[in-house]
């Protein structure tokens, strides 16, 4: 039988889950547009760059970065062997379109916004 703490930490990310996105490589990550966190909802999973799928998240509010404004971000797990659990480190791609269910190299691409962001399921 799984313990209560194991159940909390083994929680997987699912479509419909609300997320908090935060952090990055720099102390004040530019992709957050001066905010500490962004929130949104996981709306889909698409083919990822590695063995794990990428998560598509619709943000509650649009953000602008490197000349692109959009409400859709694609999250890719940062580390080999990582899984979509309660919290993890991710790459962030900002899109002003809905990405196709294809790997990054085979679809229209947004702007690469961050390599060391984190998410947490709310």
Render pLDDT for 67-95 as a digit per residue (tens, 0 to 9).
999 999 999 999 988 999 999 999 999 99
81: enclosing H helix or E strand = none
Q: At 10, is the pLDDT very low, low, confident or very high (cuts 50, 70, 90)?
A: low
pLDDT of residue 50: 76
Q: At 8, is the pLDDT very low, low, confident or very high (cuts 50, 70, 90)?
A: very low
Contact, 43 vs 56, CB < 8 A?
yes
Contact, 76 vs 90, CB < 8 A?
yes
């Amino acid at each position: 039988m799984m313990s209560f703490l194991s159940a909390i930490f083994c929680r997987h990310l699912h479509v419909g889950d609300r997320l908090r996105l935060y952090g990055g490589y720099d102390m004040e990550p530019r992709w957050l547009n001066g905010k500490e966190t962004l929130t949104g909802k996981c709306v889909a999973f698409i083919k990822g760059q590695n063995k794990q799928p990428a998560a598509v998240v619709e943000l509650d509010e649009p953000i602008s970065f490197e000349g692109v404004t959009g409400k859709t971000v694609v999250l890719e797990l940062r580390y080999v062997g990582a899984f979509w659990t309660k919290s993890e480190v991710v790459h962030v791609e900002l899109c002003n379109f809905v990405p196709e269910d294809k790997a990054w190299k085979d679809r229209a691409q947004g702007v690469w916004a961050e390599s060391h962001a984190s998410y947490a399921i709310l």
